[in-house]
Chains A and B, each alone.
Chain A
Amino acid sequence: EAAVTQSPRSKVAVTGGKVTLSCHQTNNHDYMYWYRQDTGHGLRLIHYSYVADSTEKGDIPDGYKASRPSQENFSLILELASLSQTAVYFCASSEGAPAEVFFGKGTRLTVV
């Protein structure tokens, strides 16, 4: 069974602080993604990566950085957290298109 594990599962951060969300996959997939979901809305793509040590901007990259140090790990970094970044963040992985995308259980981030 494909597995994408996110940590932490929930976090409260202070405005202006740095936040790092981590994602680990055991699927041996080349592609990894970070999405955010706001209450009552669909997921939006923040960053993605198709190979270690390389990341690409998604649809809403402003205020976020990403890091892919290995094939298995993909991090999302908020250098200066803001209230507007309160959301649920999902990590995912896949093979090349049109492959199924496997999602993690999400990280609920609250910025206060």
Chain B
Amino acid sequence: DAKTTQPDSMESTEGETVHLPCSHATISGNEYIYWYRQVPLQGPEYVTHGLQQNTTNSMAFLAIASDRKSSTLILTHVSLRDAAVYHCILRVAKPGTGSKLSFGKGAKLTVSP
């Protein structure tokens, strides 16, 4: 799986919109972009995933560049509960295979009151 690059940390304030960037310059055409987040003492939690089109759900908006070499996870109206380490992960989704994920250090999002 191709490598991703994220900032080590980002800071925000409650109520703001946060843009978490992820660079994946060597992404291949069949690799999905996944985002997970993890808070201390808990297992990772799925946030969203996408292939080519932007996606949105109750947790976040995922903006994928037209060349797919970068993506941005957008969190609107962040709260203290959104403070976590956010992981951008690439994974080929082959039919009949599982979702073996490779986690890096991720980007630590700090949210201030």
Q: Interface on A for B, CB 8 Å cutoff?
A: 4, 30-31, 33, 35, 40-45, 48, 50, 58-59, 90, 92, 94, 96-106
Which residues does chain B contribute within 8 Å of A48, judged by CB atoms? 98, 100
* B43, B87, B94, B106: the one within 8 Å of A97 (CB): B94
Does B99 make an interface contact (CB < 8 A)? yes
User: Are A50 and B98 in contact, with the CB atoms below 8 A?
Assistant: yes
B contact patch SS: loop
Q: Could you say which of B20-28, B44-52, B75-83 contacts chain A?
A: B44-52
A97-B98 contact, Cβ under 8 Å, with A43-B44, A106-B42? yes
* B87, B94, B99, B102: the one within 8 Å of A99 (CB): B99
16 contacts between A and B (CB under 8 A): A42-B103, A48-B100, A59-B102, A90-B44, A96-B95, A96-B97, A97-B32, A97-B97, A97-B99, A98-B49, A98-B51, A98-B99, A101-B44, A101-B46, A101-B101, A103-B43
Interface membership of chain B positions 14-56, coded 1 if the CB is closer than 8 angstroms to chain A and 0 otherwise: 0000000000000000001010100001111110010100000
* B36, B43, B106: the one within 8 Å of A106 (CB): B43
User: Are B98 and A33 in contact, with the CB atoms below 8 A?
Assistant: yes
A98-B104 contact, Cβ under 8 Å, with A103-B43, A105-B43? no
CA distance A30 to B98 in the complex (A): 8
Which residue among A101, A102, A104 has the maximum number of chain B CB atoms within 10 Å of its CB? A101
Does B105 make an interface contact (CB < 8 A)? yes
B42 (CB) vs chain A CBs: closest residue: A105
CA distance A50 to B92 in the complex (A): 16
CA distance A50 to B95 in the complex (A): 12
- Shortest beta-carbon distance from A98 to chain B in Å: 4
